Structure 1
Amino acid sequence: MPASAETLREAIMAAYATNPQLAAARARQEALAEAPEQARAPGRPTLSADAGAGYDRLGYGRAGSASVSAALPIWTGGRVPAAVRAAGEDVAAGAEDLRDIEAAILEGVVTAYADLLYNQQAVEVARVGIERLDAQVAEARSRFTLGQATRTDVAQLEAQRATVVANLADAEGALATAAAAYRAAVGQDAGALSAEAIMPAALPADREQARRAAETANPLLLRQRRTVAGSVARIDQARAERAPSVDMAGGYGRGVRLSGGDMRTYDSAASVGLSLRLPLLTGGLVPSRVRQAEAVNRAERFQLDAAMREAVRAVDAAWAALGAARARLDATVTGLAAADVALKGVRAEYGFGLRSTIDILVADQSFRGAQLAVASARADVLVAQARLLRAAGRLDVDAYG
C-alpha cells in the first residue's frame, strides 16, 4: 500500500467527529442532564405576578388589579433531595449509555474498515492473479507453437484465467458493497486502506486483566449499577410522600376602578404566612408507590447480576475469538510464505519440463488462496480486538492512539 494509505485511527477520528447517531446520543444526554436541575426546582423559592382588567355594564365602569406572590419551601420532607439523587443517577446511567453507543459505533467503524480492507486486497489478489495467468497463458501458447505443450495445457490455463476473472467480478461487487458500508460508518469515501497491523494501546494483556477491566469500566455494567442506585433513591422519594411539608407564602395586591371619569384606588393588601401539609390518609396510594419502588429495586438488582455475568461472558468470548484470530493469522502467514516458495519452484521446474500444467494451476490457486486467507485473518484480528476493547470498556476514540 502507498505511504499515504488511510489508517484505522484516521477512520475512527472521522467517524467520531461526524457520525450523526453519536451526535444524536450526545444531544439526548444533554437533555437528560437537565433533570437534576428540574428536580431541585420544587425546593427553591418562586415568585409570580398577576394582573387583570375588565369592564362591566352595571355602572361600575372599568377596573383593574395586580398582585405579586412568593413562596419559599422550608421543609419538603426529603422529597426534593431524593428526587435530585434519582435524577443524578439517571444522568450518570445515561452517560454510560452514551459510552456504549460510542463503543458500538466505533466497533462498527472497525468492522467496516476490516471488511473494506479485505475486499480491497481480494480485488488486488485477483488482478495480480490474472496478470500472472496472462503471462502463463502466453508462455503455454509459445510452447504449444514449438511443440513443447499440448492444446490441453493451454485450455487448462485459459479456464483457470476465466475463473479468476469471475472471482474478480465478485470481488469488485463485494468491494462496492463494503465501500458503501464504510461510507455510512465513517462519513466519507475511503481511499486505499493501510494493511499495517495496529495494536491498540488499551488492549488487555491477558484474560484476567480484561475481566477486571470489564468489572470497572464496562458501560452496560456501570449503567446498571447507576440504575440500581437510582431505584434506591426512588424508594426514598416514595416514602417522603408520607412526610409533612412546610412552606412560607406571601403576597401583595392592589386594585383600581374608573367610573364617571373618576379613578378610585382600593387599599393595598399584603399577606404572609406558613402552611403545613400533613398527609393523613392517601387511600393507600403512598404505601402502594413504596412497594412498587421496592419491587423495581429488586428487579434492578437482579439485572445487575445478569449484567455482571454478561460482561464476563463477553470478555471471555472476545478473548477466545482474538486468540483464535491471532493463531489463524500466524498460520496463514506461514502458509503464504510456503505457497510463494512452492509457486516459484513449480514455475521454475515447469520451464525444465519437470512439472505439468496441472501443477502450475494447483500452485497458483494455493498461492491466491493463501493470500486471501492472510487478508481474512488480518481483518478478523482487527474485529476481535475491537470487540475485546468494547467488552472491557476501553473502546473509545483514544483506544487506537
Structure 2
Amino acid sequence: MAVALPAAAETLADAIALAYESNPTLQAQRATQRALDENYVQARAGWRPTLSAGVQDTYTQTRVPGAQGFVDTNGDGVVDTLASTSYSERYVGNAFFSLNQPIYTGGRVAAAVTAAEADILTGRENLRRLESQILGQVVQAYVDVRRDQEAVHIRQEDVGVLQRQLDESKARFDVGEITRTDVAQSQARLAAAVSSLQSAQAQLAISRGNYAAVVGQNPGELAPEPSLAGLLPVDVDKAFDIAEDNNAQIRAARYTEQASRARLAGARAERMPQVSVAATYGFSGLGRSVDTDTWAQNITARASVSVPLFNGGLTTSRIRQQVERNNADRISIEGARRTVLQTLTQAWNQLLAARANISSTDEQVRAAMIASEGTRQEQQVGLRTTLDVLNAEQELRAAQLSQIGARHDEYVSAAGVISAMGRLEARNLTPMAPRYDPKTNFNKLRVTWGWAPWEEPIGLVDSVLVGKTKELPLEPPANAAPLPQPEPGKSRTK
C-alpha cells in the first residue's frame, strides 16, 4: 500500500530522509546491531555474581527379602514363624541458596568484553556501510527517474516535431513540390520516434519502480538534484586521505583485527589462575516433618584458587590458532585499503569523464540546435531536402539525450566518490532530519539488570594484561550542509 500512495518526497533530501527512516534493509541491520550489543552484557556477566536456589525432597524405600520357609524363633526346635521380607522407607528434604563471585579470571572475561566491544564497533561500521549503499541507491534511483522523465519529454517533443513535418510533407506533396519518397521518409522517422517514445516510457516506469522499492513510495514531480560540491574534495589525494579515516570498510577491518587480538589475549589467559569466593546456606531434615527445629542448617563459605597445569596441549593449540587469525585480520586491513583505493580511483575518473562529457554535450546541443533551425530554413528556400531536415532533427534529439545522460552520470559518479570516502551518510546529507544513533541502545545496556557495583574494580584488575578497544575518531566534513538547490545551468557537483 505504501508503494501505491502519492509521492511526498519531491526533493532528493526528502527521498533520503524517507528511505533512511523506512527502508526495510536498513531497519533489519539496525535490529541486528541491537542484538550484537547484547554480547557486551553477556561478556560482562563473567564479573558478576551468580545466585542459585534449590529445593529437594527425597523418598527412599528399602525392601530386603528374608529366608524361604519357616523359622524357629525361640530355639526349641519347633518351626513357628514364617520368614518375612524386611521393609523401610525414609523421607529426606533439603533447601539451599548458593552464591558465587569471581574475583580474578586471569583476563578471560576482560578479553571477552574487549572482543565484544570491538565486534560492536565492527557492526556499527557495517551499518554505516549499508547506510551508504542504501543512500547511493536512493541517489541513483532519483537521478534515474529525473533522466528518464527528461528523456520522455524529449521523445514526446520529437514525435510532435516529426508529426508536423509529416503533415507539412503531405501538404507539399499534394501541390507537387516534393515526391512520395519524401513523405515516406517522414513517415518512417515518425514511426521510429513513436517506438522510441514507448521505450522511454517503459524505462521511466522501470526507474519509478526502482525508486519506490528503495524509497518506499512512488516518485512525483521531482525537483532538480542539489549540488554535492560541499562533500567533494579538491583533488583525488585529499579523497584518499579522507577515505583512510572514514571509509566504513577500512574501519570495520581495523575493528575486526582488534577483536581477534582480544581473543588472542583470551586464549593466553587460559594459562592464568582463577580466584573466586562462594557461599552456601541450606537446610536438611526429614521431608515429612513440619517442625523446622528438627532440620539441620548448613552454612558454607569458601575461597578457591585454580591453576591450570596440563590439558594435553589444548591451550597452546588455541593460542597458535588465534595468532594466525589475528595475522589474517591484520592483513585484511591492507586488502580493504586497496579495495577502497580501487573503488575511489574508478569513481573519481568516472566523475572527471562525466564532467568533460557535460561540456562536450552542451556544445553539441548548442550546435545541433543551430544546425536544425538552419536546415529547416534552408529547406523552405529549396537548399535542403526533407531528409536533411529529418537528419538534423535526429542529431538534435541524440545530442539532447547525451546531455541529460552526461549530467546523470556526473551526479552518480560524484555520489560514488563521496560513498568511497565514507561520507555518503544521512548526517551529512540531511543533518536536520532525525538520525538513528546505535550508541543510544548500547549506552542503555551498560547499567542494566544484573549490574553489580563491584564489577568495575574487578574488571580493572582482570584487564591488567588485556588491551582496551580503541575507538577510531569519525568527524563529519567541516563544510557539510543541507542539500541545496542547484542554480539553473550550473554543474550539480562542481
What band does the TM-score fall into relative to the shorter chain? over 0.9
Partner of residue 227, structure 2: 198
Aligned residues: percent identity? Answer: 41
Contact 2:9 2:219 survives alignment (8 Å): no
Partner of residue 114, structure 2: 85
Larger radius of gyration: 2
Contact 1:221 1:307 survives alignment (8 Å): yes
Partner of residue 37, structure 1: 41
Matched, 1:176 2:205: yes
Runs of 4+ in 1 over 6 A off after TM superposition: 260-264
> Where do residues 158-237 of structure 1 align in structure 2 (5 Å cutoff)?
158-196=187-225, 198-237=227-266
Partner of residue 379, structure 2: 350
The AA in structure 2 aligned to 1:377 is A
What CA distance in whole angstroms lies between the structure 2 residues aligned with 1:369 and 1:261?
100
> Where do residues 56-135 of structure 1 align in structure 2 (5 Å cutoff)?
63-135=92-164
What CA distance in whole angstroms lies between the structure 1 residues aligned with 2:291 and 2:402?
101
The AA in structure 1 aligned to 2:106 is G
Q: Kindly state the Cα deviation for residue 140 of structure 1 after the two structures are TM-superposed.
A: 1.7
Partner of residue 458, structure 2: none
Partner of residue 289, structure 1: 318
What CA distance in whole angstroms lies between the structure 1 residues aligned with 2:227 and 2:289?
91
Contact 2:12 2:225 survives alignment (8 Å): no
What CA distance in whole angstroms lies between the structure 1 residues aligned with 2:14 and 2:290?
80
Matched, 1:7 2:5: no
CA-based RMSD: 1.9
> Where do residues 134-153 of structure 1 align in structure 2 (5 Å cutoff)?
134-153=163-182
Contact 1:5 1:194 survives alignment (8 Å): no
What CA distance in whole angstroms lies between the structure 2 residues aligned with 1:179 and 1:11?
13
What CA distance in whole angstroms lies between the structure 2 residues aligned with 1:207 and 1:389?
11
Partner of residue 306, structure 2: 277
Question: For each residue in 1:91-122, what CA deviation from the matched residue of structure 2 results, as whole angstroms up to 9, or x when unmatched?
Answer: 11111111111111111222222222222222
Partner of residue 358, structure 2: 329
- Scaled by the length of structure 2, what TM-score is found? 0.77
Contact 2:211 2:219 survives alignment (8 Å): yes
Higher percent of residues as helix: 1
Matched, 1:24 2:28: yes
What CA distance in whole angstroms lies between the structure 2 residues aligned with 1:8 and 1:349?
45
- Match of 1:282, SS state, is coil
Gaps of 5+ in 1: none
What CA distance in whole angstroms lies between the structure 2 residues aligned with 1:68 and 1:99?
47
Gaps of 5+ in 2: 1-7, 63-87, 430-481, 483-494
What CA distance in whole angstroms lies between the structure 1 residues aligned with 2:127 and 2:318?
30
Q: Kindly state the Cα deviation for residue 398 of structure 1 after the two structures are TM-superposed.
A: 3.6
What CA distance in whole angstroms lies between the structure 1 residues aligned with 2:341 and 2:239?
9
The AA in structure 2 aligned to 1:281 is F
Contact 1:60 1:257 survives alignment (8 Å): no
The AA in structure 2 aligned to 1:344 is E
Q: 1:213 to 1:261 in 2, by over 3 A?
A: closer
The AA in structure 2 aligned to 1:176 is A
The AA in structure 2 aligned to 1:95 is R
- Scaled by the length of structure 1, what TM-score is found? 0.94
What CA distance in whole angstroms lies between the structure 2 residues aligned with 1:260 and 1:66?
14
Q: 1:259 to 1:313 in 2, by over 3 A?
A: closer
Question: For each residue in 1:178-219, what CA deviation from the matched residue of structure 2 results, as whole angstroms up to 9, or x when unmatched?
Answer: 222111111111123334453253222211110011000010
1:310 to 339, 345, 352: 339
Q: 1:264 to 1:192 in 2, by over 3 A?
A: same
Matched, 1:248 2:277: yes
What CA distance in whole angstroms lies between the structure 2 residues aligned with 1:121 and 1:395?
26
Say how many residue pairs are matched: 398
Q: Which moved more, 1:143-152 or 1:235-244?
A: 143-152
Partner of residue 456, structure 2: none
What CA distance in whole angstroms lies between the structure 2 residues aligned with 1:379 and 1:6?
18
